[in-house]
Amino acid sequence: MVQLLQKNYNKISDLKAEVIAISHESVVENKKIHQQHKLKYLSLSDPTAKTIRDYKVLDFGRFPKVSFFIVDKQGIIRWRSTHSGANPDDLPKIDDLLKAIQLAQ
């Protein structure tokens, strides 16, 4: 996920879209990951997994799935893509993600 979003951040940004990652890691661990990968986008911590549960993206009720949501300006989810994270080839293609952003605007 990091690679998909990081290398395509400018394409996403050019569409006037924001990227916000939510991780189940602690604030300290999330900050390390953010610095290590030099992320261009915001990464928030959800160590209690409240938001992750609210969006119903837990595998086996315990592990967060790799998930992408496109939420419009009114707060309505217009597109979602959820993956186990075990297979990096299972992630959405950037063209599909960009098209979904355009359709949500």
pLDDT, one tens digit per residue, over 31-79 is 999 999 999 999 999 999 899 899 988 877 778 888 999 998 899 999 9
How many beta carbons lie within 10 A of that of residue 45, not counting itself? Answer: 19
Query: How many percent of the chain have pLDDT more than 70?
Result: 96
Helices (H), the chain: 2-7, 9-14, 27-37, 50-54, 94-104
Give Cα 28 to chain centroid, integer Å. 19
* Domains along the chain with CATH numbers: 2-104 (3.40.30.10)
Is there a contact between 64 and 45 (Cβ–Cβ < 8 Å)? Answer: no
Quote the pTM value: 0.80
How many beta carbons lie within 10 A of that of residue 98, not counting itself? Answer: 17
| Token pair recorded at residue 5 | 């979003």
∠ CA 53-8-16, rounded to 5°: 80
